[in-house]
Structure 1
Amino acid sequence: MRRTPLVSVLAGLALALTACGGDGDGDTTTAGSGGGELTGRGPITLVSGKDRSGNMQKMVDGWNAAHPNETVRIIELPDEPNDQRQQMIQNATTRSDAYTVLNLDVVWTAEFAANRWLAELPKNQLDTAKLLPATVTTGEYRGRLYAMPLTSDSGLLFYRTDLLKKAGVSEPPKTWAEMWDACDKVKKLPEGKGVDCYLTEVGKTEGLTVTAAEAINSTGGNIVDASGKPAVNTPQAKEGVDFLVNAIKDGRMPKAALTLDGEGGRRHFQAGKLLFHRQWPYQYGLANTDDGSSKVVGKFAVAPIPGPNGPGAANLGGHNYAISAFAKNKATALDFIKYMADEKQQKANSLATSQAPTVAALYDDPEMIKKYPYLPTLKAAIQNAKSRPVVVRYGDVTAAIQGSVYDALGGKTPTGQAMTDLQNKLTELTTP
């Protein structure tokens, strides 16, 4: 993502101030230090990406009815994560108190905490023991809690059960080769005409970083290794990206995918024009809505994403609630986060939206499983999922990944050269 000049300058100043102040082990009473008392009560704001379900407002209405003097107002940001992140950074670098509770993508925690844009959360007041362990780490930075996991996510393969059955395919594919074979069989059916084989996010957005990470991790590679060093100039990384390149080149994935975001893909699947779709769990509820908006109601199921030799490595997604270091009424904000993170609220939200909860027990809840039979599959996927690069300069890193991989997908740059270029870019961005 390319920052505006103002954001770049202010973010640079914030980084400089962070470097001067260390990692937050000193005085924690200054606003923006990431620590100090969470004091102040009164109205607050909840800053979030677009709420497609409308359920977030219902949950906020419940809070507001019980707390008339501490009401919450939702500030809805653009749908694209890159744009959400940019607006949150603009608010933080100007030290504005307009944003109180931030609904953060799980990979933003390190960047926001390192820059002291978040208030540290008291671990003794938030019950993280009941959450899936993989989700808890997404809210931590250097052993401290800065964000409370509210929803989790992992990539799943949505597939048309009706078309596979007619084509004589009894099980969802576990490998890329099996997926292509199933596509070929469906294409021979009269019902398969005009149906695209496969779609995942490959437009130049955050979704492409997710897609690239999943493809590379599925072949045994990494974007950044365990020591934090770039590792994309490898045969495994090239194999993963080549899978995506060849999918477009061979017509397995429509070229229109290069301009579609996640919502565009969802609409394509719900219109009945797609056989296999790598997507987040939120699509399940929308695609099964019997209001005329979906042509695939009761005609699809979900499975683990495939890989080269078996199930692939899904990406760990989700959203966490954090408190802006510059906000007023932080005590109210903390109580509101507790309210939203409560098991009862998480269950209600999941039932209404099909968003994945972070409370582990809900994956074994009979009512939940009855509505979402795939929950055991999703739980396993989350527990085994891999994260996108956890780096302080995440915005620059994801922009570099998107740029290099997109050039390879569009045929502008050979995959090998694209990976070499990306290795060089990431080395500059991750070197202290």
Structure 2
Amino acid sequence: MKKALRVAAVGATLALSGLSLVACSSGSGGGNPAAQSGNDTGPITYVQGKDTSGNIPKLAAMWNADHPKEKVTVKQQSDNADQQLQDLTQHLQQKLSDYDVMSTDVVWTAQLAAKGWLQPLTGNYKLDLSGYLPSVVKSGQYVGTQYAAPSVTDSQLLYYRKDLLGSNPVPTTFAEMMKLCPIAKKAGIDCYAGQFAKYEGLTVNFNEVVTSNGGTVVDDKGKPTLDTPQAEAGLQELVDAFKDGNIPKAAVSYQEQQGLNSFEQGKLMFLNNWPYMVADIANSAQAKDIRSKYGIAGYPGKSAVGGHNLAINAYSKHKKTALDFIKFMESADVQKNRVEKESVAPTLSSLYSDTSFTDQYPYLVPLKKSLDSAVARPITPYYNGVTQAIQNNIFQALQTASTGGSVDVKSVLSATSKAIEAASSGS
């Protein structure tokens, strides 16, 4: 296998902040006068999480060489998502202009936009995003307004043992996958795992089974929508899989690494995980026995969108330069450069159909399939509380199911809805 993307798993980095971000605006910039000012050009600062590749300063140098009067300074935050959000919040709530362009996690859009801290990408700031992945474009929206532009993306993939699957088609739904579990049991290994520990990964996996069955977790206004047959069917799939052992009992405590270890050690037939795993399999000693025996496919349903977008600080004094820098960062040449140098997934649709490019990174093909049907996690200014509500209630249900206990999915979803409502009301 040729050079592989090493995309950091969203679930591993989304240690979400406990900050309470209360909505105080509609979706039009909140009437924030700062959103209508700062149209000048000049030096800017770009802020993002720690760049372990060392590539971002090189891209900034490229920009600076062509824009001597509009130079960009790169400010690197820590590698902790919680601390990154806290840093942005501290600057923005003081209405500081020192962060002009910000790299924002896809789940932060609503939280930051609702406070009036992001410049709406409308009017003079409108970008042509028609050539970018629709699911990723949507991740930068809040109540119908675009606040952030696609930068790098991520979505989960299905890793499977092609030697065991044989002539059977790769499953495209959770139900199809479960029907193949007897093959795993005959081989003396476990069938399926994802991320089911009580952390952000559980929110991702729960969101996937609900949306894959045609349901949603919240509506466009952030109200819970779990009182539906579709949501019940999604949770029931996980509960049944734990009860009958198709998901091993131990997997109720799995984060990304535990599932990766199990798959690489030949103990799993199917695994739902992020693209970074491709590089790990290629280089890990424990994966040597399965390295030639596995395949990759799109998630069997609707995966969750991960990644980061680029947003302009509503208080920036040099928004015109900030907008131009975003256009630079989103260009095809820069996106190709970042795939090669940083091992991140691009957001420009055309790169996924460029065979000369995908031949170098073959898993971009199944990744595109996942991204085509991917959906956002709950879009709400109260995301921190909402994800905690999901984790607390769904984890308890799966833990009970893993030990053979009885689980009433309607009651679990009702309790989850009430917890989401409480989180959204600030109580």
TM-score normalised by L of structure 2:
0.79
Aligned to 2:116: 116
CA contact (8 A) 2:136 2:153 kept: yes
- Amino acid paired to 1:358: T
- Count of aligned residue pairs for this structure pair: 400
Separation (CA, whole Å) in 2 of partners of 1:118 and 1:66: 23
Q: Tell me by how many angstroms 1:405 deviates.
A: 1.0
Separation (CA, whole Å) in 1 of partners of 2:101 and 2:258: 28
* 1:140 and 2:130 matched: no
Larger RCO (alpha carbons 8 Å, 6+ apart): 2
Aligned to 1:289: 282
Aligned to 1:180: 178
Q: Tell me by how many angstroms 1:268 deviates.
A: 3.9
* 1:245 and 2:243 matched: no
- For 1:6-405, list aligned pairs within 5 A: 7-8=19-20, 11-12=21-22, 15=23, 18=24, 23-24=28-29, 26=31, 28=33, 30=34, 34-39=35-40, 41-42=42-43, 44-48=45-49, 54-55=52-53, 57-64=54-61, 67=64, 70-78=72-80, 81=81, 84-95=84-95, 99-121=99-121, 126-165=127-166, 169-189=167-187, 193=188, 195-225=189-219, 228-284=222-278, 286-290=279-283, 292=285, 294-295=287-288, 296-306=290-300, 312-326=301-315, 333-351=322-340, 355-405=344-394
- Amino acid paired to 2:190: D
CA contact (8 A) 2:151 2:329 kept: yes
SS across alignment from 1:71: strand
Q: Tell me by how many angstroms 1:113 deviates.
A: 0.7
Relative to structure 1, the CA distance from residue 431 to residue 293 in structure 2 (aligned partners, 3 Å threshold; closer, same or farther) is: same
Separation (CA, whole Å) in 2 of partners of 1:313 and 1:279: 13
Separation (CA, whole Å) in 2 of partners of 1:35 and 1:203: 44
CA contact (8 A) 2:389 2:423 kept: no
Separation (CA, whole Å) in 2 of partners of 1:403 and 1:134: 27
Moved more, 108-117 or 412-421: 412-421
Q: Tell me by how many angstroms 1:26 deviates.
A: 4.0
CA contact (8 A) 1:290 1:297 kept: no
Q: Tell me by how many angstroms 1:374 deviates.
A: 4.6
Structure 1: give runs of 5+ residues left out of the alignment.
307-311
SS across alignment from 1:157: strand
SS across alignment from 1:173: coil
Q: CA RMSD in A?
A: 3.4
Q: Tell me by how many angstroms 1:419 deviates.
A: 0.8
CA contact (8 A) 2:304 2:375 kept: yes
TM-score normalised by L of structure 1:
0.79
Q: Tell me by how many angstroms 1:222 deviates.
A: 2.0
Q: Tell me by how many angstroms 1:288 deviates.
A: 5.0
Q: Tell me by how many angstroms 1:230 deviates.
A: 1.9
Q: Tell me by how many angstroms 1:408 deviates.
A: 1.0
Relative to structure 1, the CA distance from residue 226 to residue 185 in structure 2 (aligned partners, 3 Å threshold; closer, same or farther) is: same
Separation (CA, whole Å) in 2 of partners of 1:261 and 1:98: 36
- Amino acid paired to 2:282: T
Q: Deviations over 1:178-208 (max 9, x none)?
A: 423433323433xxx4x43211111222221
CA contact (8 A) 1:110 1:141 kept: yes
Moved more, 197-206 or 114-123: 114-123
Relative to structure 1, the CA distance from residue 267 to residue 76 in structure 2 (aligned partners, 3 Å threshold; closer, same or farther) is: farther
Q: Tell me by how many angstroms 1:119 deviates.
A: 2.9
Separation (CA, whole Å) in 2 of partners of 1:238 and 1:82: 31
Separation (CA, whole Å) in 1 of partners of 2:317 and 2:251: 43
Q: Tell me by how many angstroms 1:157 deviates.
A: 1.0
Separation (CA, whole Å) in 2 of partners of 1:127 and 1:358: 13
Q: Deviations over 1:27-60 (max 9, x none)?
A: 62x3xxx442254644624222x66xx44x2143
Separation (CA, whole Å) in 2 of partners of 1:242 and 1:218: 13
- Amino acid paired to 2:390: I
Relative to structure 1, the CA distance from residue 140 to residue 245 in structure 2 (aligned partners, 3 Å threshold; closer, same or farther) is: same
Relative to structure 1, the CA distance from residue 344 to residue 271 in structure 2 (aligned partners, 3 Å threshold; closer, same or farther) is: farther
Identity of aligned residues (%): 35
CA contact (8 A) 1:154 1:385 kept: yes
Relative to structure 1, the CA distance from residue 427 to residue 129 in structure 2 (aligned partners, 3 Å threshold; closer, same or farther) is: same
- Amino acid paired to 1:67: N
CA contact (8 A) 1:47 1:77 kept: no
Q: Deviations over 1:286-322 (max 9, x none)?
A: 145347474343432222333xxxxx22223332112
- Amino acid paired to 1:401: I
Separation (CA, whole Å) in 2 of partners of 1:174 and 1:270: 22
SS across alignment from 2:139: helix
Relative to structure 1, the CA distance from residue 94 to residue 418 in structure 2 (aligned partners, 3 Å threshold; closer, same or farther) is: farther
Separation (CA, whole Å) in 2 of partners of 1:27 and 1:263: 43
